[in-house]
Each structure stands twice: as C-alpha cells, then as structure tokens.
Structure 1
Amino acid sequence: MRSHNAMKDVEAVDASWEAARGAVYGAIKWGIPTAMLGGLGYMFSPLYRSLTIQFKVYIQMSGMVFGSMIEADYSIREYEAKVRMQRRLQRDRAMWKSFEEQYGKDEDDEEDSK
C-alpha cells in the first residue's frame, strides 16, 4: 500500500521536466556568449591561446553550467507559481460552488432564466 499521494508524484515529474527544460535553455543561452568570449580571447589574447584545451573547455563549461543553474531555478519558480495559482483557482471555484449550493443562485439569475 502506498503511503503518499500519487498526484504529488505527477507534480514532481512535471516539475523536474520543467527544470530540465530550463537547464537546457540556460546552457544554450549562456553557452553562446561564453563561446563568443572564448573566440575573442583566442583572437586577441596570447594568454588565452597559451591555455590548455582542457582549461578552455572548463571555462566554456563553467559558463554553461552557471546559466543552466540560473535558468533551471527560474523556470522551477515560475512553474511553482503557476501550480499555486491553479490550486488557488480550484479552491475558489469549489468554495463558490458550495456557496451557490448552500444559498442558491441569485434571484436575478432566476428571473433572467424565466
């Protein structure tokens, strides 16, 4: 017997996919300017040209990982806000529905339907 709510599993999977999308987007978004800076460094800096290929790859990966972390965090926060808003709307709709069931609809609505 499961001891936790299955809906939380679906929400966790959706959240992880959203974070992964943000991470890929961030790696691309930050990787392109990092590569451009690396190209400029290679063109104009003898110091950069003298670095080993491993260190140049490390510099490139550092920019991509940094961007990936920032964008994944941003996208997961946006996803959480969206989920909170949806839950709030569902709760308000349920409360409004119970209110209508308990007290009936407006008299104006009843007159309009006649």
Structure 2
Amino acid sequence: MPPPSTVKNIAPPEHLTSLAVAGFASGALRFGTISLATHFLLNRRVPVYQNLTVQFKVFLQMSAMILGGCIFAERRVTDYNESVRRRNRALQRSQRAWSEEREIREMAEQRAQMETLKGEGGDS
C-alpha cells in the first residue's frame, strides 16, 4: 500500500455517506430506546439517579445515542467495504479463470494446426 502522502482520491463514494447516515440513525434509535427504558427504570428505583440534574440526564441519554449511532455507522461502512472487496476478489478470480481457459483454447488450436500441418506434410 502506498504511503498516505501519495494517495489521491480519498473522498468516499457518495452512496457510502448515505449508508453511514442510515447506520447512525439505526444505532441512535436502538441505543436511544434502551437508554430511555433504562432512564425510566433508574428514575423510579435509584435515589442517586433521581437526584441528578436534568442536564446531566440529557447528557447521558445523548451519549448513549451517539455511541450507538457511531457503532452502527461503522458497522454499515465496514460491511459495505467488505462486500466491495469480496466482489472485487470474485471478479479477479473469474478473470483469471477466463484467461486460463483462453490460454488452454489457444494451445489446443495451436496443436490442432500443428497436427494438420504435419498431416499435410506427411501426405506429399
């Protein structure tokens, strides 16, 4: 891999950003739901949590949602990158297979031509 100073075109594809945003929204919703349920449970049963300020409780909720969003966005981007790598490897394998098949056909054609030339040369 070339050093980072010589890498060009480092901007991600446009559809990758939408995948990351969808992953972030999904993770924020999931973690936010869990965080909200935890908030109601803690608010009823734990006196220490009840005495926290509203601002700190909001901070805790937002932290959970941001963490979940980041985790799920990263997962979506990683899955996409893996699928691209998998597809590229499959294309390379098929190209190798086709080139090998082409070589075998060319060799078979050359042998057939040689045999026909030998057959013509032996008859005269």
- What is the match of residue 29 of structure 1? 30
The answer to whether structure 1 residue 91 and structure 2 residue 92 are counterparts is yes
Stretches of 4+ moved more than 3 A in 1?
none
- What is the match of residue 44 of structure 1? 45
> CA offsets per residue over residues 10-31 of structure 1, 9 Å max, x none?
x622322222221111111111
Output the CA distance in 2 between the equivalents of 1:70 and 1:91: 31
> CA offsets per residue over residues 41-98 of structure 1, 9 Å max, x none?
2212333233332221111001111111111112211111111000011111122222
Which shows bigger deviation, 12-21 or 33-42?
Answer: 12-21
After superposition, the CA RMSD in angstroms is: 2.3
Output the CA distance in 2 between the equivalents of 1:33 and 1:104: 62
- What is the match of residue 68 of structure 2? 67
Identical counterparts, % of pairs: 28
Output the CA distance in 2 between the equivalents of 1:98 and 1:64: 51
> CA offsets per residue over residues 89-110 of structure 1, 9 Å max, x none?
11111222222222229x9xxx
Output the CA distance in 2 between the equivalents of 1:35 and 1:77: 28
The number of aligned residues is: 100
- What is the match of residue 105 of structure 2? 104
Asked which structure has the greater CA Rg, the reply is 2
Gaps of 5+ in 2: 1-7, 109-124
The structure, 1 or 2, with the larger RCO (C-alpha pairs under 8 Å, 6+ apart) is: 1
Q: Secondary structure at the match of 2:24?
A: helix
Gaps of 5+ in 1: 108-114
Q: TM-score, normalised on structure 1?
A: 0.73
